[in-house]
Chains A and B, each alone.
Chain A
Amino acid sequence: MKTEFLGIPLKNRTVLASGILGNSKDILERVYHSGCALVTMKSIGPAPRDGHKNPTVLDLGHGMINAVGLPSPGYDRMEGEWDELARRNFPLCASIYGGSVAEYARVAEFVSQKKPDVIEINISCPNSEKHGMIFGVHTDSAFEVVSAVKQVINVPLIAKLTPQAPDIASIACACEDAGADAICAINTVGPGMVIDIESRQPVLAFKKGGLSGPMIKPVAVRCVYDIFKAVRIPIIGLGGITTGEDAIEMIMAGASLTGIGSAVRYRGIDVFDKVTREMNDWLESHNCSIEDIKGAAHQET
């Protein structure tokens, strides 16, 4: 199951999705030791930001809805954490966001100097009025922000996309043309809403929130399928991946790696180990390798 991704040796195909647990070096290290090959930090923003009031995350049983709202200490107020992360022994992806192209570039340039193994730009978060997603729904703005970030960093760049884009494949193409080294798809679906019928008001303090978990997997698989047809750069496929069979499905859609997030709720932090073992079991029982099945769903019969 070992592989190499953008020149980074990885022990398997699983990635910790941004926004899940990635708050400190200690917890990132635990996730790595629980079987995750590439751990992603919570998105880092241009300024201190508290995120939204609670309720921010609800479990719908078949997935979750959240509007945490991009809390961040701010890129330049994390010195202690960067010092600890400099002494890490695991591959690290730093996720960043901004409210303008200049903010993305400023955060990215700073973070790049802290030497994460890769930077992911979040152009897809639905939970802030000003940040993220607006850059991921238009090809020209996606191109602009990826180009600007690419020029100021010296680690590989991943663009994380939103399924809210009318044509996610064209966004992926724009990112590839602008110099992105990989695509990560998808961020949460929606936004959706849950109304409490007794108090007659939305439950989430932000009212709307992004959907994740098993209920969005078909959307994620379709997006990765469309992106795989459109670009040559590798794809991290995520959205509802909970089991090894889910991960195999995502790889057949065209993903090279599979992200895992909400499944931490349903199967524990060692879900990464479990998914990898289940992937291996499936491959063994079908007598094939990841390379044999990557993008297999695209082969016309």
Chain B
Amino acid sequence: MTPSKTHTMIRVAEKVIEHPGESATLYFDAPITFTPGQFVMFWIPGVDEKPYTLSFVSPARFGITIEAKGIFSQKAIALEPGDLVGIRGPFGNGFTLPDEPAHTVFVAGGFGMAPLAPLIDTLLENGENPLAVIHGARTRSHLLYHDSNDPNRNPPERHPGDRQFCTDDGSYGHKGFVTDLLLDLLGKGASVEQVYACGPEIMMHAVVQICRGEQIPCQVSLERYMRCGFGVCGACVCGEQVVCTDGPVFDDTQVSRMADFNRRALLKNGQIVDLDTYFTWRQPR
């Protein structure tokens, strides 16, 4: 896809249901220049436009994974092949892979797996394997690109191998948090040289704290309400950082200096509120 001045219209090529009624990945048949962790503004004409990271990228195809939470995402997972949508971007800064092969660990909370998945793909394409992929969710039905009930799922499970699971309710894998598994890994003396984390901000904060304690570089991807996507409207500011252009990927040093990381965010009207209030608005359940 050649980025146009305003936006590019494109038709849904394929839809893969990740979890019925809850999530889907929409695939589009077009090339795109994209670094994992960047995002696009995804427009459904007549509905709204929201930022989404790309969860899959190949030379001729890209995908967006959507969790149905509000009106927009419900409409998005109801889209069908042939439906026309708009894309602006990609925008922002993505993840940075180490210059040399390194022991990398990926920590995903729920749909935080979506931006990490194409980064893991890139690593595998480079002929490297992650040291560990830790994936946690509320319940087994929120684990992404993995179906514990269906070994023959189509498309096949992404990144099988050393993938460690946990769920809040213990319905699959370890009962507890991704940080338990990360601490367990480190406690066994694993030599970890780089951590990538995405998920609820409280989870990323905990991962950053662990990594800083162990002096392991860590990159995280932040979520905020966005409008322009390119750094002028100010809707997504987090402290003095503009998430859409300075981020959405930040390293542990940057988030440690960020006054509002794991603390505050802006509502649509610009009011600065604590994260609980913000996420109650953003993630109605």
Is A64 an interface residue when CB atoms closer than 8 A count as contact?
yes
Interface string of A190-217 (1 = CB under 8 A from B): 0000101011010101000000000000
CA gap between A286 and B229 in the complex, in Å: 39
**Is there contact, CB below 8 Å, between B231 and A58?**
no
User: Given A21-B242, A24-B237, A29-B240, do A71 and B231 touch, yes or no (CB 8 Å)?
Assistant: no
Interface string of A57-95 (1 = CB under 8 A from B): 111110010101001111001101100000000000000
**Is there contact, CB below 8 Å, between A23 and B235?**
yes
User: Given A23-B235, A68-B233, A196-B86, do A56 and B228 touch, yes or no (CB 8 Å)?
Assistant: yes
Q: Which of A46-54, A119-127, A156-164, A169-177 contacts B (4 or more CB under 8 A)?
A: A46-54
B245, chain A: closest CB distance, angstroms? 8
Residues of B within 8 A of A56 (CB): 227-228, 233
User: Given A21-B232, A56-B227, A59-B6, do A26 and B237 touch, yes or no (CB 8 Å)?
Assistant: yes
Is B278 an interface residue when CB atoms closer than 8 A count as contact?
no
Residue of B48, B50, B271 ringed by the most chain A CB atoms within 10 A: B271
**Is there contact, CB below 8 Å, between B9 and A198?**
yes
Is A42 an interface residue when CB atoms closer than 8 A count as contact?
yes
CA gap between A57 and B245 in the complex, in Å: 15
A67, chain B: closest CB distance, angstroms? 10
**Is there contact, CB below 8 Å, between B232 and A20?**
yes
Residues of A within 8 A of B270 (CB): 23, 42, 71-73
Give how many A residues have a beta carbon under 8 Å from the other chain's beta carbons: 48
Within 8 A of B (CB), among A237-276: 261-262, 264-265, 268-269
Give how many B residues have a beta carbon under 8 Å from the other chain's beta carbons: 36
CA gap between A194 and B9 in the complex, in Å: 14
Is B138 an interface residue when CB atoms closer than 8 A count as contact?
no
Is A55 an interface residue when CB atoms closer than 8 A count as contact?
yes
The chain A residues found within 8 Å of chain B, CB to CB, are 19-24, 26-27, 29-30, 42, 48-51, 53-61, 64, 66, 68, 71-74, 77-78, 80-81, 194, 196, 198-199, 201, 203, 205, 261-262, 264-265, 268-269
- Given A64-B232, A264-B232, 14 additional A-B pairs, CB 8 A: A24-B234, A27-B237, A27-B239, A49-B269, A55-B41, A56-B228, A57-B227, A58-B7, A71-B235, A72-B270, A196-B45, A198-B84, A203-B6, A203-B7
